[in-house]
Amino acid sequence: MSYVPVSRRTIRRHRESERSTRRLVFVLSAAAAAAWLLSVTLSTAVHPDSFVHNIAVVLHVLSMVVAFGAIILLDWHGFLWLIGRRKLAETIRLDGAATPLIWGGLAGRLATGVFLNPHLNNPMTDVKLAAVLMLSLNGIMLIPLMRRLARLPDDAVFKDLTIGQRTHLLVCLVISQACWWTAIVIGFINAVF
């Protein structure tokens, strides 16, 4: 790696950008936790009739398909970048396109979850709800890393990342997949039984 001289002004902008990213992560994490808590709290107070419940189930599943489908595509594309089959620029571009689908799907799941009459005394439901909260927070924790990756050259490879960045990326990937599959499997088990 070569030394590239940087002006004090550029260093100051980078520090300001890092601070604004930390503030953004804090605000988004608080908002995600508040939205999750509001959804869970409202679900105990709302008792919809069967028609509204059935519509909510359909919209809940559709929201899951949209968000999880985007996650699977993005994770697969990221894996292809990891093994050198795709360029970083392609993955960053796909992330930009998939992000609204992921967050829209998660928001749809929180909104429709209010009308599903979850059994909050069931430990499996509690695990599912915790997984959904973890999904949101995990996605928010990826924001600083994705901003750093976007500043790398288009042809950067996984080995070009620092050990901390590689670890951050892989841990977030594992958390994402574990939480998604947990929420999906428990959701279907609860729906059947």
pLDDT tens profile 172-187? 999 999 999 999 999 9
Burial of 154 from C-beta contacts in 10 A (0-12 / 13-18 / 19+): exposed
DSSP, collapsed to helix, strand or coil, labels residue 51 as: helix
Burial of 160 from C-beta contacts in 10 A (0-12 / 13-18 / 19+): middle
Percent of the chain with pLDDT over 90: 83
- According to DSSP, residue 117 is labeled -
Query: What pLDDT is attached to residue 193?
Result: 65
Please say if the pLDDT value at position 37 is more than 70. Answer: yes
Query: What pLDDT is attached to residue 192?
Result: 74
| Look-up of token digits 């901003």 | 147
Please say if the pLDDT value at position 13 is more than 70. Answer: no
Overall average pLDDT of the 148-169 stretch: 94
Overall average pLDDT of the 34-57 stretch: 96
Task: Grade residue 16 by pLDDT with cuts at 50, 70 and 90.
Answer: low
Query: What pLDDT is attached to residue 5?
Result: 42
* Helix residue ranges per DSSP H, the chain: 8-45, 50-82, 88-113, 123-141, 143-150, 163-192
Distance from C-alpha of 76 to C-alpha of 144, rounded to nearest angstrom: 21
Overall average pLDDT of the 78-88 stretch: 94
From first CA to last CA, the distance across the chain in angstroms is 58
Overall average pLDDT of the 158-177 stretch: 95
Overall average pLDDT of the 42-58 stretch: 95
- Mean residue pLDDT of the chain comes to 91
Overall average pLDDT of the 22-26 stretch: 94
